[in-house]
Chain A
Amino acid sequence: MRTIRVMAVAATFFACGGAQSGKSHTSSQSAEESPLELSIERSEAKGDATPAPVISVMAKELDRSMAVLSQKAKPTTYFIGYQVTERQSARVKASRGALVSSGEHRRRTLDLDLRVGSYRLDNTRPLRGRRPSFRSRWGAYTSLPLDDNESALRSAIWLATDNAYRSAYADFIEVKANTSVKVETDDTSADFSREEQTEYYESPQILSIDRTAWEPKIKSYSSMLKRYPRGNSSSVRLTADVVNRYLVNSEGTRIQVSRAYYRLWFYISTNAADGMVLTRNESMELASLDEFPSDAEVRAKIDQVVDDLMALNKAPVADPYVGPAIIEGEAAGVLFHEIFGHRVEGHRQKDVEEGQTFAKKVGEEVMAPFIDVYDDPTIRALRGTLLNGHYQVDDEGVRSSRADLVQAGKLRGFLLSRSPTRGFDRSNGHGRRQAGLKVVARQGNLVVHPRKTVPPAELTKQLLAEVKRQGLPYGLRFTKVRGGFTTTRRRSAQAFRVMPVMVYRVYPDGREELMRGSNLEGTPLTSLTKILAASDDVEVFNGYCGAESGRVPVSATSPSILMEQVEIAKAAKEQDRPSILQPPSSSFENAPGAEVIR
């Protein structure tokens, strides 16, 4: 049985995209106020394509259900939203030159949001004084026929609707009882926002991939990871996903959107001599398989991953440290995603079980006054790098829009789904989910945009000045991170942890030394106020974020930042020794006595 008792919000980034492609120095700029140019590209889709047959089938069944449920059944249903997600996926994975798996899948699933009661009070209101149940997180989830057979589709939608009504009915009775016995909450906003009716149709895409042509290529890339000499696991994976979403709701909204994700992913992991697990991974986001990066570019990246792992294996273990640090763009993006992004998700401001770090701080200064932060899913690419968190319409049928979160260091707003929170009664198109789960407000493309920047060299200079001022032997530079997580519930500590991979000590003489085995930890409110400066080099971190509503694609863009103080703790170390035997090889087998026995 799965428990979500703690409901820790875990945001796991699997890899970063565009560390190289997204990096761009504009070193001519001086340290004066100069809005950073991000060269933003937006989608050119007009939304005037032809609706697919499935839309009309969904609409028919919706009308039929509403006719019964909004009139004849008591309590009455005031809203039904159907979303059909059509996911076509292909995967090719290889390890050490051999194919590990290769396959394609296609699924069509139905997500259903059925609301009984009224916009003000409905069946979805969380029950106070109760732990969230399994059911409260999972929505109604049904597999649908892959073709457009009307009676088969309608039959499945009907059963799902009927079941959803019966559970909504039971939940609503509980909600009403719960509201009458518990004290008033201080946030008295409604349960569901009213939004405009929207019609928007993109052309659905079909995944077309010749796996047999890709297999040799992926195998050959995976052979390159063999260069790492010691015991290790490694793989290269190509993933292609086309997601067509069809959305119909009882407010008249009709949506048809399509998004394709192509990604090339490298991974290698080993145990250092003291047992510490070291991993390096990289990914490349592609707009399409036709725009595959050049062979040289891919090979350079793989070589880099292997070189990094070799360097890490030799690097000294980090000591606990409190002091100044430069967090480079990609790592800073993850940091902002964890310490800030998750805490400005709208529903967390309302849920009494949440820490509500920022709930009452709108208008107050929450970070350095030269920083703006916003989340804008309408951005397709930034400085030429595709952003993973791009979408036109969210999972509640609301057009995505830029959410201004921080302006000049002051908190301005939240990421909002159709769950209103005090002072914010409309969605800004950030309601997201993985198929099968319930929607909550999530990040899309988080952008940290400084109003004042310095060139990277100046940032290092400032770091060393700070090292000197604080009387420390060295400062730190974080360049690559593996991911991070944060806890936002009241029952747990309001803290975050980011797991860096590449961390350097920066000595006063300018020398930099790689180290391994450190975690960047802290509490959000303090950390955000410690930002001293930002540079003009911007990096994009592309990845996937996991939270209550599942795994969703996201990006985080940030310049490198200088922090007055960070805290690093030693990472938990696996006690396993490295492999006892040498790797299998013919030369070894002739000389068994040469083996080292530990």
Chain B
Amino acid sequence: MIGKRWCILVLVFLLAGWPFEVQADSEDDVVLRAMKDELPRAMRLKLRSVEAPYYVGYRVTDADTLSIEASLGSVIASDQDRSRWLNISLRVGDPSFDNTNFSERSYMSRVRPERLPVEDDYDALRWEIWLASDDAYKEAAEKLEKKRAALAGKRKSSDVADFSKETPKSILGDLPENALDRAEWKSRAKRISAVFANRPEIHESSVTISVVTTTQRFASTEGTLSRDRRTVARIDIVAKTKASDGMSIKHFASFSAAKASDLPPEIELLKVAKKVADELTEIRDAPIVEGYMGPILFEGRAAAQIVQSSLSGHLLGTPPPKSGRDSYSRMRGDTELGDKVGRRVLATDLRIADDPRIGTAAGLPLVGGFAFDAEGVPAQPVALIDGGKLVTLLMSRTPRKDLDKSNGHARGGNYSPIRAQIANLIVSAHRGQSKKQLEGTLLKEAAKEGYDYALVVALLDNPSVTGMDREDRMAMMMAARGGDALSPPPLVMYKIRKGGKRKLVRGGLLGSIRLRAWRDVIPGKNAAVHSFSVSTEDGPFGMMGGRGGDPASIVAPELLFPEVEVKAASSDGHSSHVIPSPLKAE
């Protein structure tokens, strides 16, 4: 009975000191109002043995999804879905040591969202938020006890805190209506997919269109009350076939934009589909690449893709969760750049920044933007690399040594942990070489290694678009052997010879590209964009584009790496079709 009166006093204090400045605008938003009204109550959650929360943040995500898949002129799926999810960040303890930032046994703690009614029903919303907060508090209380026990005796004064201090800021964005002609997009998908219908040499093809409108609402006990709506429209064109030796080969094109109407016009998409079909046929008939160890030029989407697979992970500053067992921390892996701020880590001609606030870069559309991040921190531009030197890392509110502030890059949350992740990552060159110069350098460097040709890669696989079959998984496993960062297999690769003459080759896997290799990279001048779905999860899921990923874009110029290994594809394990195609038969 110690504390009944004391607790009530604390409550009175909390209520009196409530930091809200109610904005007229947010009062009209029923969802925000329900979130805001449940916050002070959540602060009163208290079990006898554990403190009340010191922080509660509610994030409500509305997802309006339209997806259409078509093949050979027919619709395979056409779905429309609307859902609303609640993520609660509830912290018990104090910012220096709380229930978060800790992992016991699980590889990485996941965030489990609660489903909310899609209707703006104030009472029903509050009821669900109340129940979810109750669960979240009990879970947090238990986690804090476990963390205290596991880290007892291991805490040092040099330990960094669990939650950074930020100045709260509310951003109330508009909620534009996105009218979409579903029937029109359906017939467009059919028409584009029909391009492959008279191409019997292509065995499998699909056109997928998705338009996802996401509304984020955020309210916290620090007084933040924010709202933002974004749309990502996307079209993927995928084609697959087999070479005469049975090797599976594929090709794809993918476009993303902030509005369905900003996607390339149909006439252009029809051309792209035809080009994918033509190139795939050419690749099918191309010779298999030989083993190679020398310079490679990544151009077009492949340059941005190589940034995704071998560099972007190192720019993320959220440290791995604390753990009672050191081996877990090691296994989880932290960026190699953690202690290199101010040092040169990449080629001096490189400059890298991430800016969630912009919608285009070098005239290219970006889709990774947001107004505030998964922890309610306003988006901000972050210069990461300048003159090859590391300026800072992308941060969430989980601090690391020397980087104790968020820079508004927390992402994830739906079945994946909340950590720093890229949004719109822009890689550029201070000077950069022209295409001609790059090709010259490439051939010169190759000659030094004893080659009379060099390799150019224009497209890498994106398994979250093209799918993964058994052959792909085997190939990935082989590529992973002995390396660290995995690169997806090249889909479009050329042999280039003196005079700039190019010839397609097929097969082959890229050896790993270590961070070190980026010190010697020579960038070009022509930027290309790669938009994809990024996850905050480590491990293979993360690499695959994750489950419940967030949209992201990378813009990069051509990148010439002086030394990359290409492993020749094994001629085993392929098998041709036993039954001839029905399209060919007629």
Interfacial chain B residues near A100, Cβ < 8 Å: 115-118
A146 beta carbon closer than 8 Å to chain B: yes
Contacting residues of chain B (529-586) with chain A, CB-CB under 8 angstroms: 575, 577-583, 585
B15 beta carbon closer than 8 Å to chain A: yes
Interface string of A569-598 (1 = CB under 8 A from B): 000000011011101100000001101011
* B197–A151 CB distance below 8 A: yes
* B82–A159 CB distance below 8 A: no
Distance (Å) between the CB of A92 and the closest chain B CB?
12
In the bound complex, how far is the Cα of B38 from the Cα of A579, in angstroms? 14
* A146–B74 CB distance below 8 A: yes
Interfacial chain A residues near B579, Cβ < 8 Å: 64-65, 68-69, 158, 161-162, 165
In the bound complex, how far is the Cα of B48 from the Cα of A598, in angstroms? 6
Q: Beyond A98-B124, A584-B38, A597-B46, is A155–B582 a contact (Cβ under 8 Å)?
A: yes
In the bound complex, how far is the Cα of B121 from the Cα of A159, in angstroms? 49
A233 beta carbon closer than 8 Å to chain B: yes
Distance (Å) between the CB of A440 and the closest chain B CB?
25
Interfacial chain B residues near A580, Cβ < 8 Å: 45-47, 134, 137
CB-contact partner of B71 in A73, A152, A598, under 8 A: A152
A143 beta carbon closer than 8 Å to chain B: yes
In the bound complex, how far is the Cα of B203 from the Cα of A324, in angstroms? 65
In the bound complex, how far is the Cα of B115 from the Cα of A96, in angstroms? 13
Interfacial chain A residues near B121, Cβ < 8 Å: 96-98
A387 beta carbon closer than 8 Å to chain B: no
B107 beta carbon closer than 8 Å to chain A: no
Distance (Å) between the CB of B319 and the closest chain A CB?
28
* B77–A107 CB distance below 8 A: yes
In the bound complex, how far is the Cα of B79 from the Cα of A161, in angstroms? 27
Interfacial chain A residues near B135, Cβ < 8 Å: 576
Interface string of B252-278 (1 = CB under 8 A from A): 000000000000000000000000000
* A154–B74 CB distance below 8 A: no
In the bound complex, how far is the Cα of B76 from the Cα of A153, in angstroms? 10
* B37–A595 CB distance below 8 A: no
B73 beta carbon closer than 8 Å to chain A: yes
Distance (Å) between the CB of B521 and the closest chain A CB?
36
In the bound complex, how far is the Cα of B5 from the Cα of A372, in angstroms? 68
Q: Beyond A95-B128, A101-B118, A597-B4, is A146–B582 a contact (Cβ under 8 Å)?
A: no
B182 beta carbon closer than 8 Å to chain A: no
Contacting residues of chain B (506-521) with chain A, CB-CB under 8 angstroms: none
In the bound complex, how far is the Cα of B193 from the Cα of A146, in angstroms? 14
* A69–B578 CB distance below 8 A: yes
B44 beta carbon closer than 8 Å to chain A: yes
CB-contact partner of B72 in A64, A107, A151, under 8 A: A151
Distance (Å) between the CB of B80 and the closest chain A CB?
7
A130 beta carbon closer than 8 Å to chain B: no
B21 beta carbon closer than 8 Å to chain A: no
In the bound complex, how far is the Cα of B490 from the Cα of A203, in angstroms? 49
A231 beta carbon closer than 8 Å to chain B: yes
Interfacial chain A residues near B15, Cβ < 8 Å: 592
Interfacial chain A residues near B44, Cβ < 8 Å: 581, 592, 595
Distance (Å) between the CB of A222 and the closest chain B CB?
9
B125 beta carbon closer than 8 Å to chain A: yes
* B117–A99 CB distance below 8 A: yes
A44 beta carbon closer than 8 Å to chain B: no
* B117–A231 CB distance below 8 A: no
Interfacial chain B residues near A94, Cβ < 8 Å: 117
Q: Beyond A64-B585, A149-B72, A151-B583, is A583–B578 a contact (Cβ under 8 Å)?
A: no
Distance (Å) between the CB of B43 and the closest chain A CB?
10
* A103–B81 CB distance below 8 A: yes
* A105–B119 CB distance below 8 A: no
In the bound complex, how far is the Cα of B117 from the Cα of A102, in angstroms? 10
Q: Beyond A152-B71, A158-B579, is A96–B203 a contact (Cβ under 8 Å)?
A: no
Contacting residues of chain A (4-50) with chain B, CB-CB under 8 angstroms: none
Interfacial chain B residues near A2, Cβ < 8 Å: none
Contacting residues of chain A (73-103) with chain B, CB-CB under 8 angstroms: 73, 94-103
Distance (Å) between the CB of B325 and the closest chain A CB?
23
Distance (Å) between the CB of A155 and the closest chain B CB?
6
Distance (Å) between the CB of A255 and the closest chain B CB?
23
Interfacial chain A residues near B72, Cβ < 8 Å: 145, 149, 151-152, 155
Closest B residue to A60 by beta carbon equals: B582
Contacting residues of chain B (134-182) with chain A, CB-CB under 8 angstroms: 134-135, 137-138
In the bound complex, how far is the Cα of B575 from the Cα of A73, in angstroms? 13
A144 beta carbon closer than 8 Å to chain B: yes
Q: Beyond A98-B125, A99-B119, A162-B578, is A152–B74 a contact (Cβ under 8 Å)?
A: yes
Distance (Å) between the CB of B202 and the closest chain A CB?
10
In the bound complex, how far is the Cα of B76 from the Cα of A149, in angstroms? 11
In the bound complex, how far is the Cα of B46 from the Cα of A69, in angstroms? 69
Closest B residue to A594 by beta carbon equals: B8
Q: Beyond A233-B131, A579-B130, is A154–B582 a contact (Cβ under 8 Å)?
A: yes
A493 beta carbon closer than 8 Å to chain B: no
A206 beta carbon closer than 8 Å to chain B: no
* B581–A598 CB distance below 8 A: no
Q: Beyond A96-B124, A145-B71, A597-B7, is A155–B578 a contact (Cβ under 8 Å)?
A: no
Interfacial chain B residues near A576, Cβ < 8 Å: 135, 138
A511 beta carbon closer than 8 Å to chain B: no
Interfacial chain B residues near A157, Cβ < 8 Å: 582
In the bound complex, how far is the Cα of B73 from the Cα of A108, in angstroms? 16
Q: Beyond A97-B121, A592-B44, is A583–B197 a contact (Cβ under 8 Å)?
A: no
Interfacial chain A residues near B83, Cβ < 8 Å: 101
In the bound complex, how far is the Cα of B578 from the Cα of A69, in angstroms? 8
Interfacial chain B residues near A97, Cβ < 8 Å: 121, 123-124
Interfacial chain B residues near A210, Cβ < 8 Å: none
Interfacial chain B residues near A155, Cβ < 8 Å: 71-72, 203-204, 581-583
Interface string of B175-212 (1 = CB under 8 A from A): 00000000000000000000001000001100000000
A156 beta carbon closer than 8 Å to chain B: yes
* B73–A152 CB distance below 8 A: yes
Interfacial chain A residues near B137, Cβ < 8 Å: 580
Interfacial chain B residues near A360, Cβ < 8 Å: none
In the bound complex, how far is the Cα of B138 from the Cα of A597, in angstroms? 14
* A598–B124 CB distance below 8 A: no
Distance (Å) between the CB of A93 and the closest chain B CB?
9
Contacting residues of chain A (337-368) with chain B, CB-CB under 8 angstroms: none
In the bound complex, how far is the Cα of B575 from the Cα of A166, in angstroms? 8
Closest A residue to B118 by beta carbon equals: A99
Q: Beyond A100-B115, A105-B79, A581-B45, is A149–B583 a contact (Cβ under 8 Å)?
A: no
CB-contact partner of A147 in B7, B74, B81, B124, under 8 A: B74
B41 beta carbon closer than 8 Å to chain A: yes
Given A152-B73, A158-B579, A584-B41, 18 other A-B residues pairs in contact with their CB atoms under 8 A: A69-B579, A95-B128, A98-B125, A99-B118, A102-B82, A102-B118, A145-B71, A153-B74, A155-B203, A161-B579, A580-B45, A583-B127, A584-B37, A584-B123, A584-B126, A584-B127, A597-B3, A597-B7
A-B contacts, 9 of them at CB < 8 A, read: A96-B123, A101-B82, A102-B118, A103-B81, A147-B75, A162-B578, A165-B579, A579-B130, A597-B7
Give the interface of A toward B (CB within 8 A): 61, 64-65, 68-69, 73, 94-103, 105-108, 143-147, 149, 151-159, 161-162, 165-166, 231, 233, 576-577, 579-581, 583-584, 592-593, 595, 597-598
Give the interface of B toward A (CB within 8 A): 3-4, 7-8, 11-12, 15, 37-38, 41, 44-48, 69, 71-83, 115-119, 121, 123-128, 130-131, 134-135, 137-138, 197, 203-204, 575, 577-583, 585
